[in-house]
């Protein structure tokens, strides 16, 4: 874990509630896809965890949805302001498991953490299919960013106003060498129950410290209690025991 004061280079809206923030001052090579950062915001005791969307050179990209005090404060921050940031948190995805044709499944703000993953997999010669799920056409973001990387992209919307009508599970191909899923819990559980294939899930849990000290983010797995912030946030399918 590292603590740094990162400078905001840009902070723009991608749709009504989702923003993309770029911060400078990192060492991109030290950050793995699937890891997260923990941001100290003015007047808030607990830091706010946000996944790494991209980390390249000295630039960190975060994509976040405004849901409460912390993310609302972030959306109003300006270029040049600095944020005290804990970096290199969590385990990240297992890229060595990807096989030849990995499948990436993202829902809403579960899409951005898959961006750095897609980039890394494509750079290492994998044929990546990314299924990006949203509620409606105006929610869609990052479709072109994934295409530009060279991924085959399928967008789904629950109301059918853009792309394929339905959920990411409705567009899942029969086979893939390995899947990586990130999104809201109902989506993750639907993927879990739909596929017999091997894969990993990126989980969210309310966090205290964010670096393994408080046990506040513990979940029960097939292999005992694990901290989402430390042993996760990425877990293999076979570690999870979701019966519902
Ligand atoms: C590992 C991890 C990665 C995440 N990555 C992203 C991301 O890339 N983009 C994104 O938009 N959101 C992400 N989240 C969710 C994000 O942390 C919360 O939306 C955010 O903390 C809400 O803060 P708030 O002050 O705006 O909301 P409030 O509701 O006011 O927050 C109150 C408290 O609840 C916690 N909290 C609220 N919602 C969540 C949640 N879903 N998960 C964990 N803690 C929560 C806050 O951290 C805070 O301590 C991630 C969460 C985790 C655990
Ligand atoms: S948030 Fe403290 S141990 Fe995970």
Which pairs with CB-CB distance under 8 Å and at least 24 residues apart come from 143-150?
A: 145/115, 146/115, 146/118, 149/115, 149/118, 149/119, 149/122, 150/122
Instruction: Report whether residue 54 contacts ligand 1, using a CB cutoff of 6 Å.
Output: no
What is the Cα–Cα distance from 115 to 137, expressed in whole angstroms? 20
Helix spans in 46-157 (H)? 69-75, 113-123, 143-149
Does the pLDDT value for residue 225 go beyond 80? yes
What is the Cα–Cα distance from 17 to 80, expressed in whole angstroms? 22
Ligand nearest to the CA of 185: 1
Instruction: Estimate to the nearest angstrom the gap between the alpha carbon of 80 and the chain centroid.
Output: 25
Is residue 225 assigned to a domain? no
Supply the pTM of this predicted model: 0.97
Among 148, 35, 138, CA closest to 130: 148
pLDDT tens, position by position, 66-90: 999 999 999 999 999 999 999 999 9
Mean pLDDT along residues 229-233: 98
Q: Pick from 182, 202, 222: which residue ends a domain? A: 202
One domain, residues 102 and 119: yes
State the residue range of the domain holding 58.
2-89
What is the Cα–Cα distance from 126 to 57, expressed in whole angstroms? 22
Confidence at 174, pLDDT banded by 50, 70, 90: confident
Q: How many domains does the chain have?
A: 2
Is residue 238 assigned to a domain? no
Higher-pLDDT residue of 126, 244:
126
One domain, residues 127 and 57: no
Does the pLDDT value for residue 244 go beyond 80? no
Does the pLDDT value for residue 243 go beyond 90? no
- The alpha carbon of 182 and the centre of ligand 1 are apart by a number of angstroms equal to 14
Is residue 39 assigned to a domain? yes
Instruction: Report whether residue 109 contacts ligand 1, using a CB cutoff of 6 Å.
Output: yes
One domain, residues 196 and 99: yes
One domain, residues 169 and 138: yes
Instruction: Report whether residue 209 contacts ligand 2, using a CB cutoff of 6 Å.
Output: yes
Residue-level pLDDT at 176: 87
Is residue 131 assigned to a domain? yes
Instruction: Report whether residue 204 contacts ligand 1, using a CB cutoff of 6 Å.
Output: yes
What is the Cα–Cα distance from 238 to 82, expressed in whole angstroms? 40
Instruction: Report whether residue 208 contacts ligand 2, using a CB cutoff of 6 Å.
Output: yes
Is residue 241 assigned to a domain? no
Confidence at 93, pLDDT banded by 50, 70, 90: very high
Does the pLDDT value for residue 175 go beyond 90? no
Which of 216, 225, 226, 231 to mutate to test ligand 2, by most ligand atoms within 8 A of the CB atom?
216
One domain, residues 83 and 37: yes
Is residue 223 assigned to a domain? no
- The alpha carbon of 99 and the centre of ligand 1 are apart by a number of angstroms equal to 32
One domain, residues 99 and 186: yes
CATH code, domain with 49: 2.40.30.10
Is residue 9 assigned to a domain? yes
One domain, residues 192 and 106: yes
pLDDT tens, position by position, 118-172: 999 999 999 999 999 999 999 999 999 999 999 999 999 999 999 999 999 999 9
CATH code, domain with 174: 3.40.50.80
Residue-level pLDDT at 198: 96
What is the Cα–Cα distance from 100 to 88, expressed in whole angstroms? 27
One domain, residues 72 and 37: yes
One domain, residues 73 and 116: no
CA atoms within 13 A on the CB side of 74: 33
Is residue 17 assigned to a domain? yes
Mean pLDDT along residues 196-223: 96
One domain, residues 83 and 125: no
Please state, rounded to an integer, the average pLDDT across all residues of the chain. 97
Instruction: Report whether residue 19 contacts ligand 1, using a CB cutoff of 6 Å.
Output: no
Instruction: Estimate to the nearest angstrom the gap between the alpha carbon of 57 and the chain centroid.
Output: 19
Residue-level pLDDT at 231: 98
């Amino acid at each position: 874990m590292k603590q740094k004061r990162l400078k905001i280079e840009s902070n723009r809206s991608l749709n009504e509630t989702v923003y993309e923030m770029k911060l400078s001052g990192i060492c991109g090579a030290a950050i793995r896809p699937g890891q997260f950062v923990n941001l100290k915001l003015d007047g808030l005791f607990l830091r706010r965890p946000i996944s790494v969307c991209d980390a390249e050179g000295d630039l960190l990209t975060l994509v976040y949805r405004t849901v409460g005090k912390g993310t609302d404060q972030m959306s109003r921050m300006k270029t040049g302001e600095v944020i005290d940031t804990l970096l290199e948190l969590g385990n990240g995805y297992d890229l060595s498991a990807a096989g030849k044709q990995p499948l990436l499944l993202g829902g809403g703000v579960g899409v951005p953490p898959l961006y750095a993953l897609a980039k890394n997999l494509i750079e290492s010669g994998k044929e990546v299919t990314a299924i990006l799920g949203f509620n409606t056409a105006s929610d869609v973001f990052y479709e072109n960013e994934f295409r530009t990387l060279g991924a085959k992209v399928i967008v789904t919307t629950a109301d059918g106003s853009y792309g394929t009508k339905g959920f990411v599970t409705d567009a899942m191909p029969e086979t893939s060498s390995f899947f990586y899923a990130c999104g809201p819990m109902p989506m993750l559980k639907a993927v879990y129950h739909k596929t017999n294939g091997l894969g990993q899930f990126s989980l969210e849990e309310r966090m205290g410290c964010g670096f393994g000290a408080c046990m506040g983010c513990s979940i029960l797995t097939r292999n005992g209690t694990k901290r989402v912030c430390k042993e996760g946030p990425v877990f293999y399918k076979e570690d999870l025991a979701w019966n519902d």
